[in-house]
A and B are shown apart, each in its own frame.
Chain A
């Protein structure tokens, strides 16, 4: 068995495990029963570990990090969300967040499954350490925005959830959720800033201009501005909470658009990747 076959098997296991954890989280949320939630957490952790192994196997097989075509970036993106979720929502009181995040992870893995899994050789412009810093920071940044997206959806739904002993235990109250979302977004924002700065440094080396308003650059700036507005709105009284949460939702839609939409619909020097 070669590396790529091994990776395929691991990837399939990963996808099934993410699906299972999403289903369990939804059961946990719908039935308000503790057990499925607990299992979902373990399944997600397991999926993440297998996913990590799959990425390592692919890296060894390709002789480089898997960060350069749609499949590779999608699977790494899902990995980033899982990592960020496991980190930020590690406390029991945030468990219900999984109901909103695990399905997002699964959808992105599903998207990855539909892409070509071929290993391409890198064209010279892509052989740069700056590119790898650029893309890895993007995975971390986008991953945390994915979690904040889930957290914000939950925030927007929080009023509709009847307060019981169970919800008090596993559902953060609105204040906490707002602060958690803020914390995740500020982390993602710091990393998005790094993404843009390292991308600019790379572009300067590869193309001689650090900023050319190419659609992918422009869309990452749009995303950055949306989150900057979010961060300011939180300082403005009366804008915390719901309105800010909507910005986090729109921000993530922008992230998805920057990543998939721009590559698919708009011509760009980035789209050969």
Chain B
């Protein structure tokens, strides 16, 4: 007996929980909270350091920011929890609304329902014999004749599909959130960079990117029109490859990955010598270094760091700048380190010797390098499908308004009724206008 009571109590509690979790009230609260989180995340710069926040917000508030995770709002646990709750909410509400929507779609559109309708959207009389014409003008071309309790009627419904609108849109949102979450777990986002002729393996994948050519198309005013990289993507396991072009906005697709032309910079060839003996020769991108380690017994430990490159250098009070993107007067800003200590920093032209005791470095062959971003997200089709579903859903919800009309044949006249849940004002306005038109023409 008590077990049954407990069970009963439990199912009641369960039902209650279900009701709360599927309610629109919860949806509104969650949406409100998520919106607030977005407002904070949209104002407070994300991913900065405590010091940066202290400069802007002061000490106390900065500590609050870090404590509450407001420096990474979109990944902090409470935000993920909110999204999780919204997901449950959307799922349950879609689940619960499905049978009722289906029932409405299947059984909600018929004359007997309409006859029970206490508040039709409009109700008017037309002269006997003109109701078919009237309905036709209202957009109902094929009304059917029916008899209920000895009274004759015409009936038609349209846009019944519209009842699915909001359900579909919510399903779409559900799919988007699920897809986005999957994408967070499964997506790949990495990059390689290099100059034509180089082949770089994508770290952690059996994919190598061979840069065949790289071109920057400039306009007359020196602004960039396009970056074009010709690539060959090698699949190292299958021993196959795909050739193609990657431009900004037109990534190359291969092996389920997108190869995006993402950024560019300058690279120079650096040659290092001891006396006349060539020690090393490599292409180095701005920001990289060449190290000469333990060259002899006394632990020579030299490193050249190329900080920046100027194709057409001019000196300004604020330091070196480039006048144009053309290689008219190329120079690189470098630092030299000896055993980890800075020993020199200067600007070097191409072909000059950068000397350090017996050793020297020479820069030559400046050329742009390309940074190729490599991304893949297997959940992309899912998210896109969700987006499309959502859009279709909203369109149906807002613009495919299910409408029903029926005509009751009475002696000497015909009474026309219309019913719609949404946009009743438009529907009745249209009917009233039609009636006016008909009355003026006859």
What residues make up the interface of A, taking CB atoms closer than 8 Å to B?
Answer: 121, 123-125, 127-128, 176, 179, 183, 186-187, 189-190, 193-194, 197, 200-202, 204-211, 213, 215, 218-219, 221-222, 225-226, 228-229, 232-233, 235-236, 262, 266-267
Give the chain B neighbours of A229 by CB distance below 8 A: 28, 31-32, 35
The distance in angstroms between the C-alpha atoms of A201 and B385, with both chains bound, is 12
CB distance from A187 to the nearest CB of B (A): 7
Query: Taking A179-B425, A208-B375, A233-B28 as contacts, is the C-beta distance between A124 and B42 under 8 angstroms?
Result: no
Bound Cα distance from A213 to B38, whole angstroms? 9
Question: Are A190 and B398 interface neighbours, CB within 8 A?
Answer: yes
A235 and B227 in contact (CB under 8 A), knowing A193-B394, A205-B251?
no
A205 B249 Cβ-Cβ under 8 A:
yes
In the complex, the chain A residue whose C-beta lies closest to that of B257 is A208
Contacts of B39 in A (CB 8 A): 222
B398 touches A225 (CB 8 A): no
Scoring B residues 111 to 125 as 1 if CB is less than 8 Å from chain A, else 0, what string do you get? 000000000000000
CA distance A183 to B397 in the complex (A): 12
What A residues does B219 contact at CB under 8 A? 121
A-B contact pairs, 14 of them (CB 8 A): A121-B219, A121-B223, A124-B227, A179-B425, A197-B390, A201-B384, A207-B260, A208-B258, A211-B180, A213-B73, A213-B74, A215-B42, A222-B39, A229-B28
Judge whether B196 is part of the interface by a CB distance below 8 angstroms. no
Within 8 A of A (CB), among B62-108: 73-74
Given contacts A213-B41, A225-B38, A229-B28, contact A128 B249 (CB under 8 A): yes
Q: List residues of chain A with CB within 8 A of the CB of B225.
A: 121, 124
- In the complex, the answer to whether A232 meets B38 with C-beta atoms within 8 Å is no
A179-B425, A206-B248, A208-B373 given; A218·B41 CB < 8 A: yes
Are B42 and A232 in contact, with the CB atoms below 8 A? no
Taking the complex as formed, is B387 at the interface, i.e. its CB lies under 8 A from any CB of chain A? yes
Check B413 for interface membership: any CB of A closer than 8 A.
no
Closest chain A residue to B247, Cβ basis: A124
Contact A219 B42 (CB under 8 A): yes
**Dominant SS among interface residues on chain A:** helix
A233 to B31 Cα, complex, angstroms: 12
Contacts known (A179-B425, A193-B394); A123 close to B223, Cβ less than 8 A: yes
Closest 4 CB pairs of A and B: A124-B248, A208-B375, A218-B42, A225-B35
Known contacts A124-B224, A205-B250; A225/B260 CB under 8 A: no
Whether A267 and B391, one on each chain, are in contact in the complex, defined by CB atoms closer than 8 angstroms, is no
Q: In whole angstroms, what is the CA distance A13 to B223 when docked?
A: 33
In the assembly, what is the distance between CA of A213 and CA of B394, in Å? 24
B367 interface contact, C-beta 8 A: no
Report the minimum CB–CB distance from A129 to chain B (whole Å).
9
- For window 222-237 of B, CB contacts with A under 8 Å fall at 223-227
Within 8 A of A (CB), among B12-28: 24, 27-28
Whether B42 pairs with A262 at a CB distance below 8 angstroms is yes
What's the interface size class on B, roughly? 35 or more
A189–B189 alpha-carbon span in the complex (Å): 32
A187→B46 CA distance, assembly (Å): 33
Chain B 389-427 residues near chain A, CB threshold 8 A: 390-391, 394-395, 397-398, 423, 425
User: Closest CB of chain B to A56's CB: distance in Å?
Assistant: 24
Known: A123-B224, A124-B249, A128-B249. A228 touches B398 (CB 8 A): no
Bound CA span A211–B224, Å: 25
- Give A112 Cβ to nearest chain B Cβ, in Å: 23
CB under 8 Å from chain A, chain B span 365-395? 373, 375, 380, 383-384, 387, 390-391, 394-395
In the complex, what residues of B have CB within 8 A of residue A213's CB?
Answer: 41, 46, 73-74
- Given A206-B248, A208-B251, 4 other A-B contacts at CB below 8 A? A123-B224, A190-B395, A208-B189, A215-B42
Query: A224 — nearest CB in chain B belongs to which residue?
Result: B35
Query: Which residues in B have their C-beta under 8 angstroms from that of A225?
Result: 31, 34-35, 38
**What is the distance, in angstroms, from B90's C-beta to the closest C-beta of chain A?**
12
- The residue on A at minimum CB distance from B227 is A124
**B294 CB-CB contact with A under 8 Å:** no
0/1 interface trace, chain B 131-156, chain A, CB 8 Å (1 if under): 00000000000000000000000000
Contact of B43 with A by CB under 8 A: yes
- When C-beta atoms are compared, the residue in chain A nearest to B374 turns out to be A208
In the assembled complex, the Cα of A221 lies from the Cα of B38 at a distance in Å of 8
Q: Quick one: given A208-B373, A235-B24, are A176 and B46 in contact (CB under 8 Å)?
A: no
* Inter-chain contact B41/A232, CB cutoff 8 Å: no
Q: Which B residues are in CB contact (< 8 Å) with A266?
A: 42-43, 45
The residue of chain A having its C-beta at the shortest distance from the C-beta of B259 within the complex is A208
Determine whether the beta carbon of A204 is less than 8 Å from that of B380.
Answer: yes
CB neighbours (8 Å) of A201 from chain B are: 384
If the complex has contacts A124-B225, A187-B398, A190-B394, are A222 and B180 also in contact, measured as CB distance less than 8 A? no
Query: Which residues of the other chain, A, contact B394 by a CB distance below 8 angstroms?
Result: 186, 189-190, 193
The residues in B between 145 and 203 inclusive whose CB is less than 8 angstroms from any CB of A are 180, 187, 189
Instruction: Provide the residues of chain A in CB contact with B262, threshold 8 Å.
Output: 207-208
Give bound CA distance, A77 to B161, whole Å. Answer: 34
Of the residues A186, A187, A193, A205, contact of B390 by C-beta under 8 Å: A193
CA–CA, A145 and B373, complex, Å: 38
Please name all residues of chain B whose beta carbon is closer than 8 Å to the beta carbon of A189 when the two chains form the complex: 394, 398
Tell me which residues across on chain B come within 8 A of A211, comparing CB atoms.
180
B221 at the interface (CB under 8 A from A): yes
Residues A206 and B38 in contact, CB atoms below 8 Å apart? no
Closest chain B residue to A229, Cβ basis: B31
**Nearest chain B residue, comparing its CB with the CB of A258:** B42
Q: Look across to chain B and name the residue whose beta carbon is closest to the beta carbon of A221.
A: B38
Cα(A200)–Cα(B28), bound, Å: 25
Q: Is the CB of B35 within 8 A of A222?
A: yes
- The CB with the most chain B CB atoms within 10 A, among A121, A189, A262, A267, is that of A121
Residues of A within 8 A of B373 (CB): 207-208
